[in-house]
Amino acid sequence: MPEIRGIFERQRKYIFLLLSVYVLGWGFTDHQSIYAGLILGTSISLYNLWLLARKTWNFGDDVLQGKKVRSLGSFSRYAAAGFAVLIAMEFPEHFHIIFTVLGLMTSYFVIMIDFLIQSFHIRR
């Protein structure tokens, strides 16, 4: 499954780029709670993307070896997202809840944009 690893590495780079922009926004603007929420949500989103990629690698290996296939770990990703929302709700003066949720969706936006870019490159 080397193509899955390549996809994950590419998407991870995009998310790190977004995180660096968010850190600059947090440091140089007056909207620190908004950027802190984006940083928190995007960090958990990156963790969830890593969990999904790791479970997918293990899933593929198990299928190839004929082993019993386990789930892809939705509960652990939901728990991580819930943890981010709990942090934002506990410290509303530091984290904006709406932007934390938007940050949690970052990996899904990155996956869709990456898919569109890659499908465009394949067509050319």
Q: Specify the 3-state DSSP secondary structure of 1.
A: coil
Quick check: 18 pLDDT over 60? yes
Please calculate the CA angle 19-20-23 and round it to the nearest 5 degrees. 85
The shares of helix, strand and coil residues in the chain, as percent rounded to the nearest 5, are 85, 0, 15
Residue 73 token pair: 């770990």
- Residue 1 confidence (pLDDT): 53
Q: pLDDT averaged over the chain?
A: 92
List of residues 6+ apart from 26 with CB closer than 8 A = 32, 35, 36, 39
- Residue 2 confidence (pLDDT): 61
Q: What is the pLDDT of residues 35-89, one digit of tens each?
A: 999 999 999 999 999 999 988 888 887 778 888 877 778 899 999 999 999 999 9
- For the chain, what percent of residues have pLDDT higher than 70? 98
10 Å Cβ neighbour count for 63?
11
- Residue 98 confidence (pLDDT): 97
pTM score, two decimals?
Answer: 0.89
